[in-house]
Structure 1
Amino acid sequence: MFLFSEKFKSKKIFHAFCTRKGGVSKGIFKSLNFGIGSKDSKNFVRKNFNIIKKKTKLKKIYLVKQYHSNKIIKFNKENKNQVLGKGDGIFTDIKKIGIGILTADCAAVLFKDKKEKFICCVHSGWKGAYKNILKKAIKCFEEQNIKPKNILVALGPCLGAKSYEVSTTFKVKIIKKYKNSGKCFKNKKGKLFFDLRKFIVNRLIDSGITVNNISHVNRDTYKLSRLFYSYRLSLHKKEIDYGRNLSIISKN
């Protein structure tokens, strides 16, 4: 049900990258689907959230309405609504509540400072990383007088480099803005592939995060369909919809 970054673990901060196992959803959503906007039964999705709340002992898990933006919502008091608003990241210092990100090929990126005063979760596909959402997240810490060198990051499962076929036009777009991104692309048997994980790491390093402070749960969501939901795989299978994995972080 849960995957963890051993390097990111601590007694004061809980984090988890959820697999798709251990829930109640059926069919293409089997079984631990958190897609509140998906075509799955709302009752099943609610039950899945309750399963996680019970496992983690969290009363609430807050989300945002994600839209591949670079917007981080700063959250400093509890809210009656589960969805805090439109955005692709949450930054907080509130204890005993979870903040979460939903993914299905994009990466969930979790942040905390070394003194464990603040936490942040970010939804980052190529669009978010391209728009500098990771830099925006780091800026939230800097506004609290926390230097990038004192921020720890855990990068969750995402679409793998061998599964992410892209166009030459896409490569040109990326490299035009980020000149150091050439190594994020590889040609294989006449096809061009993109390493999203490496691209995200590069954006983190460019924003001041040291490579030793970045840890990984390195899994390919496309190839491990029994563990993860994959938007791209659902397209290739011509399915009507797809589930979403939840990644969470909380202060104990």
Structure 2
Amino acid sequence: MLSPIQADSLSILPGIRHGFFTRQGGRSRGLYASLNCGAGSKDDPVAVIENRARVAQHLGSFHDDVQTIYQVHSADVHVVNALAPRESLPKADALVTRTRGLAIGVLTADCAPVLFADPEAGVVACAHAGWRGAIGGVLEATVAAMESQGAERSRIFAALGPAISQKSYEVGPEFVAEFEAASAENKRFFAVPKGKTKPHFDLPAFVMDRLGKLGIHHAERESPCTYENESMFFSFRRSTHRKEPDYGRQISAIVVA
């Protein structure tokens, strides 16, 4: 049974269904147990297709899959009005739609998923905000694309889902330098924890700050740490530290019902 994390602000919106799905409730096994929705993983493709179909059904989609994208850590956004074949996914890091019954989603395993909705316009969006996409403007591009479809910024609700926490996100000096070069204000998103020698980056706080600067007044954070909560989430960094050969991806999705 699927029990996704839900944002209170999005849950009360009429005609909108969403979920930040965990790794629980699927049919994958081993490293991918159990709701792995990453078609790019080395998991059994049949299991991944079934997992994604379960998510689509849970959201009340008119289709047996969730529309995702070929994520490339960019600021590119794709507006979609029909389910695209798996073999021809657009390269982008955000999706926007106003098509009823078409569930759209992003895949993450430490990066920050953000779901958006303007219920009055019937426009929804999802964004994959890794550090590169976040600093590169993927959130700003997503909101602009929503506006091109009839959304109004003052009506947009946004929710940030599960992502790696600052405690678990150690980075190098070149990483810090890139953020400080973009803005001196970004220094506040880094800290060296007690007993550590390298800085740690607060990705969720950075994303929330960008949403605030965009004028998104209805922004909510539902972001337990993907690295620390192994039973709930896949984590690229955790798998890398363990030298595991691959990792699963959780999905965050939204639909105009």
Question: What's the TM-score, normalizing by structure 1?
Answer: 0.94
1:38 pairs with one of 37, 41, 45? 41
Q: Out of 10, 28, 32, which is 1:29 matched to?
A: 32
Where 1:54 maps in the other structure, the secondary structure is helix
- CA drift of 1:54 comes to 3.0
SS of residue paired to 1:250: strand
**Do the aligned partners of residues 147 and 95 (structure 1) sit closer, same or farther apart at CA in structure 2, a change above 3 Å counting?**
closer
DSSP-derived class of the 1:3 partner:
coil
Partner Cα separation in structure 1 for residue 158 and residue 165 of structure 2: 19
Q: Secondary structure at the match of 2:145?
A: helix
* Partner residue in 1 for 2:4: 2
Deviation per residue, 1:123-165 (Å, 9 max, x gap): 0110100110101011113334544232110100000011100
Q: CA deviation at 1:116?
A: 4.6
Partner of 1:127: 132
Residues 229-249 of structure 1 show CA distances to partners (whole Å, capped at 9, x for unaligned) of 000000001000000001100
User: Which of the residues 179, 187, 190 maps onto 1:182?
Assistant: 187
Q: For residues 250 and 83 of structure 2, what CA distance do their matches in structure 1 show?
A: 23
1:50 counterpart letter in structure 2: A
Structure 2 portions without partners, runs of 5+: none
The match for 2:104 among 88, 92, 99 is: 99
Q: Structure 1 counterpart of 2:18, which letter?
A: H
Displacement of 1:215 in angstroms is 0.6
Aligned to 2:116, the other structure's residue is in SS state strand
Q: For the Cα contact (< 8 Å) 1:119–1:249, is it kept in 2?
A: yes
SS in structure 2 of the partner of residue 62 of structure 1: coil
What does residue 171 of structure 1 align with? 176
Are the aligned partners of 1:12 and 1:116 in contact in 2 as well (CA < 8 Å)?
Answer: no
Listed one character per residue, the Cα deviations across residues 84-124 of structure 1 (whole Å, up to 9, x for unaligned) are 41111111100011001000000110111252521000001
CA distance in 2, matches of 1:238, 1:124: 24
Structure 2 counterpart SS, 1:153: strand
Deviation at residue 204 of structure 1 after TM alignment: 1.6
Partners of 1:80 and 1:193 in 2: CA distance: 38
| Structure-to-structure mapping, 1:215-234, within 5 angstroms | 215-234=220-239
Aligned to 1:196: 203
Runs of 5+ consecutive residues of structure 1 not aligned to the other structure: none
Decide which of 241, 251, 255 is 1:250's aligned counterpart.
Answer: 255
Greater CA deviation, 152-161 or 136-145?
Answer: 136-145
Q: CA deviation at 1:178?
A: 2.5
Does the C-alpha gap of structure 1 residues 145 and 180 become closer, same or farther in structure 2, counting only changes over 3 Å? Answer: farther
- Farther-moved stretch of structure 1 (29-38 vs 58-67): 58-67
User: Does the C-alpha gap of structure 1 residues 80 and 72 become closer, same or farther in structure 2, counting only changes over 3 Å?
Assistant: closer
Give the aligned residue type for 2:133. G
Give the stretch that moved more between structures: 50-59 or 106-115. 50-59
Larger proportion of strand: 1
- CA shift in 2, pair 1:93/1:176, >3 Å: same
Percent of aligned positions that are identical: 34
Please give the TM-score of this superposition, normalised by the length of structure 2: 0.92
Match of 1:236 among 214, 229, 241: 241
